[in-house]
Structure 1
Amino acid sequence: MTDDGVQGLDPRQLEAYFALMEAVSLLQHHVEQQLQASGDLSYVQFQLLARLADAQGQLTMTALADSVVYSRSGLTYQAGLMEKAGLITRGPCPDDERTTLVTITEDGLALLGRVMPGHIQVARGMLFDPLADEDLSRLGDIMVRVRDHMRSLPPRSAAPRRRRQA
């Protein structure tokens, strides 16, 4: 019990927590090294390009911030860098000019295509190779459940933006 009366984690919970945090840190380190070496991209920039490509090329800034769990101001900064590099464009949404629409460019798609093979190799080698098929199914089920629970209580940067009352 902590000084605040909170029940401590039991040894199995601590072991699982520390193993998860270490695995995530190691995976992210290797992914970031690969992205920097093969495309001069940060992990956040890669996520943005991948999300845009997956969405058939366009998303709003808000949808991008929510999908990558990144602050809106940080996303605006990253989008500015990526726009200067010719990887994306930003402009008003035709349906709502208060909304900024982000579009991946041909150069952005080409860069994503160049870094993706190495990214897949890192993901496969670091995460998937040591798992049997049934392990992968269980891990996927567990992580979806944990992610969905976490998304139900998102950080402010990931919470859907509240619209002002008109």
Structure 2
Amino acid sequence: MTGPLIDVGAHAPDPQRLGAYFALMEAVSLLQHHIEQQLRAEGGLSSVQFQVLTRLAAAEGRLTMTALADGVVYSRSGLTYQAGLLEKAGLITRGPSPDDERATLVTITEKGVALVNGVLPGHIQVVQRLLFEPLSDGDLRRLGDVMTRVRDHMRAQPPRSAAPRKRRAGGSGSAS
């Protein structure tokens, strides 16, 4: 067989961009794998559950489900499922928001704070060893600047929670 196996035609990115993209994806996957292992071993948590708990802790203990979904970049239904697991474990509580009757307020419990404080040192060690150790101070500044710019560019789009919900086939037949 001769020639490329995948034909992207005129949309082919230049090799430098393609290389950077694949290196980023591989590094993120490797880091995520090690983080998942550490969180499971030390706290019985998934990385999404850890993100939920740390976002709550950083936000003085409470956020709406919508703010959490936007912050952890997770689907509404997926977050509802994860919140149910965390609530069952006694790590969070959920209830109506006093400010908005349509919103659900999520609050981290003392047990949730204790768990975060228990797994955080190991989490920091994994990130330090795998991500920061090979970087110089200048590399770290540049990486922070670049990733902040990329994140801000991506976040300029409407949040996922603001996207209209897709109707299921065979649903209510009403037209919008």
Structure 1-normalised TM-score?
0.91
Query: Is the counterpart of residue 13 in structure 1 residue 17 in structure 2?
Result: yes
Q: 1:116 maps to which residue?
A: 120
Counterpart of 2:154, as a letter, is M
Larger radius of gyration: 2
The 5 A counterparts of 1:117-156 are 117-153=121-157
3-state SS of paired residue (1:134)? helix
Query: Is the counterpart of residue 52 in structure 1 residue 59 in structure 2?
Result: no
Q: Whole-Å Cα distance in 1 between the matches of residues 132 and 91 of structure 2?
A: 30
Q: Whole-Å Cα distance in 2 between the matches of residues 114 and 65 of structure 1?
A: 24
Q: 1:2 maps to which residue?
A: 8
| Deviation per residue, 1:49-90 (Å, 9 max, x gap) | 000000010000000000000000000000011001000000
Q: 1:161 maps to which residue?
A: 162
**Contiguous gaps of at least 5 residues in structure 2:** 1-6, 165-176
Preserved CA contact (<8 Å) 2:76 2:161:
no
Preserved CA contact (<8 Å) 2:35 2:126:
yes
| Deviation per residue, 1:96-130 (Å, 9 max, x gap) | 12110000000000000000000000000000011
3-state SS of paired residue (1:50)? helix
Counterpart of 1:159, as a letter, is R
Q: Once the 2 structures are TM-superposed, how far is the Cα of residue 14 of structure 1 from its aligned partner? A: 1.1
Q: Once the 2 structures are TM-superposed, how far is the Cα of residue 150 of structure 1 from its aligned partner? A: 1.5
Q: 1:72 maps to which residue?
A: 76
Structure 2-normalised TM-score?
0.86
Preserved CA contact (<8 Å) 2:93 2:108:
yes
Q: Whole-Å Cα distance in 2 between the matches of residues 133 and 92 of structure 1?
A: 45
Q: Whole-Å Cα distance in 1 between the matches of residues 48 and 8 of structure 2?
A: 36
Count of residues in Structure 1 that have an aligned counterpart in Structure 2: 158
Query: Is the counterpart of residue 86 in structure 1 residue 78 in structure 2?
Result: no
Percent of residue pairs bearing the same amino acid type: 70
Moved over 4 A (4+): none
Q: Once the 2 structures are TM-superposed, how far is the Cα of residue 160 of structure 1 from its aligned partner? A: 4.1
Q: Once the 2 structures are TM-superposed, how far is the Cα of residue 159 of structure 1 from its aligned partner? A: 2.3
Structure number with higher relative contact order (C-alpha < 8 Å, ≥ 6 residues apart): 1
**Contiguous gaps of at least 5 residues in structure 1:** none
Q: Once the 2 structures are TM-superposed, how far is the Cα of residue 153 of structure 1 from its aligned partner? A: 3.2
